[in-house]
Structure 1
Amino acid sequence: MTILSVNAKALRLVDKMVRDAAELRISVTTGPLGERLIDAGAAVAGGIEAGLHLARICMGGLGTVSAAADRGPDSWPWSVVVRSSLPVIACLGSQYAGWSLHHGDGGDAYFALGSGPARALAHKEALFDEVAYRDQADHGVLVLETDTAPPPVIVEKVAEDCGIPPSNLTFIYAPTRSLAGTIQVVARVLEVALHKAHAVHFPLERILDGLGTAPISPPHPDFVTALGRTNDAIIYGGHVHLFVSGSKEDAEGLAQALPSAGSRDFGAPFAEIFKRFNGDFYAIDPLLFSPAEVIVTAVDHGASFHSGARSRDLLDKSFR
């Protein structure tokens, strides 16, 4: 049986990104251990197109990501549109930022959350026990939401955990404050819905297909403001449509459980919530991290269920 490799598919996208480096306004260098380093928005301009490439790579080549005009909210009509017919592997098995990478203490410490297909080689997260997917590839690609390239000690760790030499690794990095970083975070709108479905114990194998859209938030040089805007794009502006198997009752229950409005912390821009909890992500209600509006279709019955709504006022408050 042919093994579907998210790293092999992503590598082809990375190679195209490298060939188009000049027009994408990115830089490509080789690190001290032979690893390939791609800066998509830290010391370079990057841009929306670089961010779209980055989001597709995050999904292991199993999703389409584009920018398009949306029907709303009217004040912010340009959106990222994401689609995958293998959403569990694309979103949870690849795109999810679940690999915590850190080294050192104090001012010299390095920390980044790794997302993308190399996670499926390393299998360091308990989530993979439920996703039931492991990649086999001789090259790995990891995306880091940071403004610095990983130090050699992190490169060595990732290579060891993935079972490949450092020279077969590609790291792509862009901070949230950059245009490319903004796009790749907002493009997680479908992934956030999948993760929320997992959190409310909906069987992942019954999620057959999915689409999502969220407004492109304007970047900001301040980290917390930029972080807040990208989260608000999903929490208050995200719209996801999932197609699931099973009973109508289960589909309706999932639709009711998914929207962010069910969270105790819903109702304020994310930057305000983040500051309220003194920057502690883990103190924020995890159920907040979900799209504003959802449709769930039970494909075995032809019934669809709608829940939630997008909030123009909160997006305006966050984005202006």
Structure 2
Amino acid sequence: MTETRPSVGTLVAPLVSSLIADAATLRLGVERTATGATIVDAGINVRGGLEAGRRITEICLGGLGYARFAPDTRFPRWNTAIHISTVDPVIACLGSQYAGWSLSEGDFFALGSGPARALWAKEELFGELGYKDKAESAALVLETDKRPPDALIAFIAKECGVAEDKLTLILTPTTSLAGSVQVVGRVLEVALHKAHALHFPLERIVDGTGVAPVAPPAADFLGGMGRTNDAVLYGGEITLYVEGPEDEAEQLANGLPSSTSRDHGRPFGEIFAGYNFDFYACDAGLFSPAVVTVTALSTGKSFSAGAFMPELVEKSFRG
């Protein structure tokens, strides 16, 4: 499998170069460290914006997915949605976009997502995917409101097997417009992650799309986390196209929606506070879209499950 998969790092390189070249237009900050690494600020000391978030979402997808804004009439007042599509949903979402690299140095902590994860490839998940990337450059997206320490930058480059001048780190605080977009843009990824948790064979997932309302940024980290999660949990919708028996497609559809979780039905901020702000104490089954459709390619029959909660989206987004 490894030899037949495209290199997400190679595919993303021109997207990263374009983001940096357009930094002034996109209201991004660009810093070159003393050792040559590139730091892109998408909302800490600069404003950033929606278009920056859209392009960062495509970088997170490893050049194997597309993010587009489109009108959305499902939720009054919140009439802009981000649509996600991929040409290889498993590698795009789980091999690149998933925030699976935990990074810390001193008081700095962030989860890393994007194509550099596949160069590092030390998560157990990569063994299951049978995928490890080879590329000359590395790009990693960090959900943080702080610049990473130089020691951590050097560590990331070493772990990816690239020189520091071939490393780009993109910083996206949850309170920013770009950060909000790139988190909501994970609507398809969370469905793939839950399908994996349900032990559905990933190699049978052929294609997928997703859509979720763009959440307005909040004034603080916890508010931003709540709104972006609510956008997906109560306003997100995905479609998967799978191979295999029809009854297994139906079973997957019934198991995927966020409504299958014991924590479903309350704003995520409230759920999070109820667990003393311990993210890992939350029911993992909650993190999935509100509505899912799974199509069995063997028969062409589709199965849908879940429901939107527009009143909760409204409550969350208005604050």
The alignment's TM-score, normalised by the length of structure 2, stands at 0.97
Q: Specify the SS of the correspondent of 1:156.
A: helix
Deviation above 4 Å: which 4+ runs of structure 1?
none
Unaligned runs of 5+ in 1: none
Structure 1 residue corresponding to 2:58, chosen from 53, 56, 70: 56
Measured in 2, the distance between the counterparts of 1:226 and 1:202 equals 31
Measured in 2, the distance between the counterparts of 1:253 and 1:220 equals 37
Q: Alpha-carbon deviation of 1:63?
A: 0.4
Measured in 2, the distance between the counterparts of 1:125 and 1:29 equals 29
Report the identity percentage.
53
1:299 aligns with 2:297: yes
Q: Specify the SS of the correspondent of 1:304.
A: strand
Q: Alpha-carbon deviation of 1:2?
A: 6.7
Structure 2 residue corresponding to 1:84, chosen from 83, 86, 98: 86
Structure 2 residue corresponding to 1:28, chosen from 30, 39, 42: 30
What's the counterpart of residue 95 of structure 1?
Answer: 97
Q: Specify the SS of the correspondent of 1:68.
A: strand
Mapping of 1:256-267 within 5 angstroms? Answer: 256-267=254-265
What's the counterpart of residue 308 of structure 1?
Answer: 306
The alignment's TM-score, normalised by the length of structure 1, stands at 0.97
Q: Alpha-carbon deviation of 1:222?
A: 1.4
1:250 aligns with 2:252: no
Measured in 2, the distance between the counterparts of 1:38 and 1:57 equals 13
Q: Alpha-carbon deviation of 1:174?
A: 1.3
8 Å CA contact retained: 1:100, 1:111: yes
Alignment RMSD (CA, Å): 1.0
Structure 2 residue corresponding to 1:147, chosen from 145, 148, 151: 145
Measured in 2, the distance between the counterparts of 1:138 and 1:130 equals 24
Measured in 2, the distance between the counterparts of 1:252 and 1:211 equals 17
Q: Alpha-carbon deviation of 1:29?
A: 1.3
What's the counterpart of residue 234 of structure 1?
Answer: 232
Paired letter, 1:70: D
8 Å CA contact retained: 1:102, 1:112: yes
Mapping of 1:104-119 within 5 angstroms? Answer: 104=106, 109-119=107-117
Paired letter, 2:159: D
Paired letter, 2:265: G
Measured in 1, the distance between the counterparts of 2:29 and 2:17 equals 13
What's the counterpart of residue 199 of structure 1?
Answer: 197
Measured in 2, the distance between the counterparts of 1:258 and 1:264 equals 13
Q: Alpha-carbon deviation of 1:3?
A: 5.4
8 Å CA contact retained: 2:5, 2:131: no
Q: Specify the SS of the correspondent of 1:79.
A: strand
Q: Specify the SS of the correspondent of 1:60.
A: coil
Measured in 1, the distance between the counterparts of 2:220 and 2:118 equals 32
What's the counterpart of residue 170 of structure 2?
Answer: 172
Q: Alpha-carbon deviation of 1:26?
A: 0.4
Paired letter, 1:32: A
Unaligned runs of 5+ in 2: none
Measured in 1, the distance between the counterparts of 2:265 and 2:14 equals 41
Q: Alpha-carbon deviation of 1:70?
A: 2.0
8 Å CA contact retained: 1:75, 1:312: no
Paired letter, 1:24: L
Measured in 2, the distance between the counterparts of 1:85 and 1:60 equals 11
